[in-house]
Amino acid sequence: EFVFQELTTGELLKCCAVSHSWHDMALIAMSSSVKEVYIVDCVDSEAVSSLLQKFRSLESLRLQYVKILGAQSLGQSPEFECFSSVNSLQIQRCDTQEAIGFLQNFPNLRSLGLSGVNVDDDVISAIEPMGKLQVIDLSGTRITDHGVALLACLCELRELSLRGADIGVESIESLILGAPDLELLDVSGVRGPLTNGCIARLCARCTALSTLSLSRVPGVSLGPAAEAAAGLPGLTRLVAA
């Protein structure tokens, strides 16, 4: 079953695959203007591959509970040139190693979400070449302080979510040194411990922060965090309960 959202002009804007049924792919292929694709719950990697070949101007792709093909299967094919136009990719609950290989097909991403995917620091090798990345969500992954240190070197990084990750104060120090232009940082529920001192240094260095989430982080308390954040001119949201 496919769900479509159409503009008043009849131009197809969005496609959402919500089941195992693929018999309507021909209908999708009739439109070359699809910008967003959302595929859910499919273990047939060949079906996913065939579907993605139909689009030539994708901008956003979201895969959830999907068996996907790796770089060896997809990356060598000119049929997947559509991936060069994708600027937002969200992968949730997909096969780990295939997901890492799959990332290599998206050179122009600006937003990448791997929330809840069982990846570790090895995924950084696929992320590092993405020089245009501005938004990264690695919440619920097995990323460590070492991986965050590598991510901090991405010069365009503006938003980073690491909720529940196995990181500590070393990651904050890496971001202080390497990512001074951060606008959003979410480290809620990380292993920690962090310190009020490192949060103060973070706020003094990353003055563009507008959202800072520090809830359920060992070593961080609301009072000192609020005091440290008071000097952030653009801060609109602070969570440190």
Coil, strand or helix at 219: coil
Bridge partners (DSSP) listed for residue 143: none
Q: What pLDDT was estimated at residue 208? A: 97
Tokens read off for 158: 């503006």
Coil, strand or helix at 83: helix
What φ, ψ does residue 119 adopt, rounded to 5°? -110, 155
Q: What pLDDT was estimated at residue 4? A: 42
Q: What pLDDT was estimated at residue 69? A: 56
Considering the entire predicted model, what is its pTM?
0.85
Which region holds residue 229: left if phi is over 0, alpha if psi is between -120 and 50, else beta?
Answer: alpha
- The C-alpha atoms of residue 5 and residue 181 are separated, in whole angstroms, by 36
Q: What pLDDT was estimated at residue 82? A: 65
Q: How many CB atoms lie within 10 A of CB 111?
A: 18
Coil, strand or helix at 121: helix
Instruction: Report, as ranges of residue numbers, the positions in the chain whose pLDDT lies below 70.
Output: 1-32, 43-45, 68-82, 95-97
